[in-house]
């Protein structure tokens, strides 16, 4: 089972989703990428994942170009709001899905509020990807 998780910057939401999906089942090949990959991970995303025992600090922020020639069971986009364009993936894909989330890196306000947004989105990603895992992989 091969899964590619896509977003724009590949620094936050797709990285958290990658970490969760891999934690549910080590036998799944999980990768993440972005159409405009930032080349680095969002430090707050790494921090909130570490809080729950999932280390994504060694992940890399990769361009979607790296994966275009490969075969995928699932390609999942995770961008959220109407202001954000989700990347399209043209390639050998069995199933394309969209599981959208707000981008906590765009949160503005106090440090406490910003971290609360990272926690909220992290928890939503966990729930969304666990549901995906249960319905599409575990029962398959």
Catalytic member of 3, 45, 79, 121: 79
12 is catalytic: no
Catalytic member of 7, 45, 54, 64: 7
Sheet with 71-77, side-by-side order of all strands: 29-34, 2-7, 71-77, 92-98
Q: CB–CB of 104/84 below 8 Å?
A: no
Task: Quote the DSSP letter at residue 85.
Answer: P
Catalytic member of 57, 60, 86, 93: 86
Other residues' Cβ atoms within 10 Å of the Cβ of residue 73: 16
Residue positions annotated with a catalytic role: 7, 79, 86
């Amino acid at each position: 089972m091969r899964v590619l998780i896509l977003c724009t910057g590949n620094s936050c939401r797709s990285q958290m989703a990658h970490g969760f999906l891999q934690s549910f089942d080590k036998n799944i090949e999980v990768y993440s990428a972005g159409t405009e990959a930032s080349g680095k991970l969002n430090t707050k995303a790494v921090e909130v994942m570490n809080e729950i025992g999932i280390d994504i600090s060694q992940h890399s922020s990769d361009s979607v170009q790296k994966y275009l020639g490969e075969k995928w069971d699932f390609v999942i986009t995770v961008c959220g709001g109407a202001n954000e364009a989700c990347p399209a993936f043209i390639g050998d894909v069995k199933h394309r899905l969209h599981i959208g989330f707000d981008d906590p890196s765009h949160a503005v306000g106090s440090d406490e509020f910003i971290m609360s947004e990272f926690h909220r989105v992290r928890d939503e990603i966990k729930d969304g990807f666990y549901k995906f895992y249960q319905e599409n992989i575990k029962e398959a």
